[in-house]
Structure 1
Amino acid sequence: MKINGNEIRPGNVIEHKGGLWAAVKIQHVKPGKGPAYAQVELKNLLDGTKLNERFRSSETVERVRLEQRDFQYLYEEGDMLVFMDMETFEQIEIPADFVGERKAFLQEGMQVTVEMHEGRPIGVTLPDQVTVEVAEAEPVVKGQTASSSYKPAVLENGVRVMVPPFVSSGEKIVVDTSDLSYVRRAD
């Protein structure tokens, strides 16, 4: 679907210079001299590189619609992650580095959303929050107040997070997968 250069919004995916780019930031500029334009910061969906481009309202760009499908994480095989389509039960393999550091939060049977373009996976979205067990946490020091700062802890998957002083080893906590922060104790 073609759109004008000044209609690009954050989160839109466009086809530009032979690649798929997501609009990250947009600033509309109206210089004193010359036509107005949109200064757009783009991020390549496949390799993560960034690019700043100017789009005039007279220019058109191809906006891409991504198909979002539900998949279930099955297992890791070498450096590939195996997922199963929840509708067709077809299995696909995605490189582990494609998911990045959030791969540590994948659990067998977890439902994820895979964004696809022309049948090719280009993004994996994990649930916003996951429950994990604390493997190591420093003991509480007597005299610390409840409002004191957080302490470092290591989770069962090896990820380090900051937790409140009352959390101890062996407890299950809920962690936000987007910024790796402590949310609450698990029920």
Structure 2
Amino acid sequence: MATSNDIKNGTVIKDSGQLWSVVEFQHVKPGKGGAFVRTKQKNIVSGKIIDKTYNAGAKIETATVDRRDFQYLYKDGADFVFMDLSDYDQLTVPAVVVGDGENYMLENLNVQIGMHEGEPLYIELPASVILEVTYTEPGLQGDRSTGGTKPAKVETGYEIQVPLFLETGTKVKIDTRTGDYLGRVND
């Protein structure tokens, strides 16, 4: 059992049956009264952020979250199958855990999966991925990169906004955190 004095950024705390990762912490010693630890915590599953304060020396329950490298293999119904790159075991991850990551995942994509007691908690994708545009309206003569945008469907089925000059078959770089178009990729 740890105490509030052991809290650091990245510490995973088990509270009310849920796992919270410490994003920020501050040890405070006011002139009057007892010391305390002020934290900002992010729920590992839902992403919700809360502020929580602990008295100095208060007992807290920490949890171990193991981050391991996996490779995405295929979609099996509503679930996703990944291969552990260290021992080649396969892991089936429910769609709820994958979330919006599905929009950016092609077969053989390397990801990190956070695991707690053998259960997958979250999937961490690379910061950006390269996908091919499978359909977009044709660009018109005179369309420039500083102009507007148009919708384009990429090979995962996800729709993004791209500059007017892009055509079907173009490979684009996409930010996996925001879903924004980052640029064109030349082969």
Match in the other structure for 1:2: 2
Partners of 1:5 and 1:55 within 8 A in 2 = no
Does the residue aligned with 1:98 lie in a helix, a strand or coil? helix
Deviations, residues 36-91 of structure 1 (Å, cap 9, x unaligned): 54443433323555544222233242343321211121111111111111122211
Partners of 2:174 and 2:180 within 8 A in 1 = yes
Match in the other structure for 1:159: 158
Match in the other structure for 1:105: 104
Deviations, residues 14-45 of structure 1 (Å, cap 9, x unaligned): 12223211234557777786445444343332
Map 1:75-94 → 2, pairs under 5 A: 75-94=74-93
* 129-138 vs 97-106, greater mean Cα deviation: 129-138
Does the residue aligned with 2:146 lie in a helix, a strand or coil? coil
Aligned equivalents of 2:3, 2:29: Cα separation in 1:
20
Does the residue aligned with 2:132 lie in a helix, a strand or coil? strand
Does the residue aligned with 1:99 lie in a helix, a strand or coil? helix
Match in the other structure for 2:174: 175
TM-score by length of 1: 0.80
TM-score by length of 2: 0.80
Match in the other structure for 1:148: 147
Does the residue aligned with 2:168 lie in a helix, a strand or coil? coil
Aligned equivalents of 1:112, 1:4: Cα separation in 2:
32
CA apart distance, 1:153? 2.1
Aligned equivalents of 1:146, 1:109: Cα separation in 2:
32
Aligned equivalents of 1:136, 1:27: Cα separation in 2:
50
Aligned equivalents of 1:32, 1:57: Cα separation in 2:
14
Match in the other structure for 1:132: 131
Partners of 2:105 and 2:156 within 8 A in 1 = no
Aligned equivalents of 2:56, 2:165: Cα separation in 1:
56
One-letter amino acid matched to 2:56: S
The percentage of aligned residue pairs carrying the same residue is 37
Aligned equivalents of 2:6, 2:147: Cα separation in 1:
48
Shift of the 60–184 alpha-carbon distance from structure 1 to 2, 3 Å rule, reads same
Does the residue aligned with 1:109 lie in a helix, a strand or coil? coil
CA apart distance, 1:13? 1.7
Structure 1, unaligned runs of 5 or more: none
Structure 2, unaligned runs of 5 or more: none
One-letter amino acid matched to 1:127: P
Does the residue aligned with 2:156 lie in a helix, a strand or coil? coil
* 28-37 vs 172-181, greater mean Cα deviation: 28-37
> Could you say what the CA RMSD is over the residues aligned between the two structures, in angstroms?
2.8
The answer to whether 1:62 aligns with 2:53 is no
